[in-house]
Structure 1
Amino acid sequence: GKIGATNVLRAAGRKEAALVVFLDVSKGALAVVFAGLIIGRSYLVVGDFGLGALVAQVLAALAAMVGHNWSVFLKFHGGRGVATFMGGLIALCPVAAIFGGEIFIIGAGLTKFA
């Protein structure tokens, strides 16, 4: 199976799955935050960074997701990257993350697929 929260929920329970979701979301968000700190983006002032910082942060989020989905430690297998993607999106653009999260929750509820 995959290493994500859905499989952990089935195998271990809700507490463990919640921890996996938290860690996966944090993985994506922290990649973006650390890239911003390295490049010099301030999270206190909107619009004070150039395109290079944004590109670095997007690449950091992408790298976190690729590392989650195709881990070298798991012979290039892993999870689906949904929570890691959402963590990166939360750090990059919280408004888009809210709308994307709502759409995901509605879709998962309608299809019974998470």
Structure 2
Amino acid sequence: MNLLLLLAAAYLLGSVPFAILVSRLFGLADPRQYGSGNPGATNVLRSGSKAAALLTLVGDCLKGAAAVWAAQALGFSAEEAALAGLAAFFGHVFSLFLRFNGGKGVATALGVLLGIDPWLAFICLFVWLATAVLTRYSSAAALAAAVSAPLAGYVLLGAPALVAILLLMAAVLVWRHAANIRRLLAGTEGRIGGKSG
């Protein structure tokens, strides 16, 4: 399979907006219309439905992991498989089905890490959970996990190309959280589990 075709397929997979599909399935409002307006699991949680949020989280995570696993199964190199994961991540963040305005990519990035190396995903998930428990801010947890990913990748994997992919993903995650950073600094950021007004 041609690498460009693989990346295009991974991007389309990543573009599937699970937050919106799951919300419709559960009869909930479009997550873009409340809370942070982000079509992701944390914002779906603000609807009050933990089941919908969990299903969204799993779906978004699996998009990233499936892209990497499929590339590996097709015989692509570790670097090419990671690029497929990156394409799925970009699909989520810049979804073709949402006029290139998707979610922030945290769960999909975790899935990509899981596909690349389960230990890498475990370390970043631990960082996310520890930060979330301590602060109750999903955005702060996401930022901490994003920063930890390339550092952990350098220690575990060492491959410059893979670390570069992780750095790019981390940079996009931080950029996508720019508004959250401003709200964190202002003390107005919503906490995990808080319902929208």
Q: Give the TM-score category using the shorter length.
A: 0.7 to 0.9
Distance 1:108 1:27 in 2: 23
The reply to whether residue 33 of structure 1 matches residue 57 of structure 2 is no
Which one of the candidate residues 129, 133, 156 is aligned to 1:109? 133
Distance 2:126 2:92 in 1: 23
How many equivalent pairs are there?
102
Say which one has the larger Rg: 2
Q: Residues 3-22 of structure 1: matches in 2 within 5 Å?
A: 3-11=39-47, 13-22=49-58
Tell me how large the CA RMSD over aligned residues is: 1.2
Further displaced range: 100-109 or 26-35: 100-109
Counterpart residue identity of residue 77, structure 1: N
**For residues 54-86 of structure 1, what are the alpha-carbon distances to aligned partners after superposition, in whole Å with 9 as ceiling and x for unaligned?**
111110110011000111211111111111111
Report the secondary structure of 1:66's partner residue.
helix
Compute the TM-score of the two structures, normalised by the length of structure 1.
0.84
Higher relative contact order, chain-length normalized (CA < 8 Å, sep 6+): 1
Distance 1:9 1:34 in 2: 30
Which one of the candidate residues 37, 47, 59 is aligned to 1:23? 59
**For residues 4-52 of structure 1, what are the alpha-carbon distances to aligned partners after superposition, in whole Å with 9 as ceiling and x for unaligned?**
0011111251000000011011111100011111126xxxxxxxxxxxx
Q: State the partner residue of 1:60.
A: 84
Q: State the partner residue of 2:95.
A: 71
Runs of 4+ in 1 over 4 A off after TM superposition: none
Q: State the partner residue of 2:108.
A: 84
Counterpart residue identity of residue 101, structure 1: L
Gaps spanning 5+ residues in structure 2: where? 1-36, 139-197
Counterpart residue identity of residue 30, structure 1: A
Distance 1:29 1:60 in 2: 10
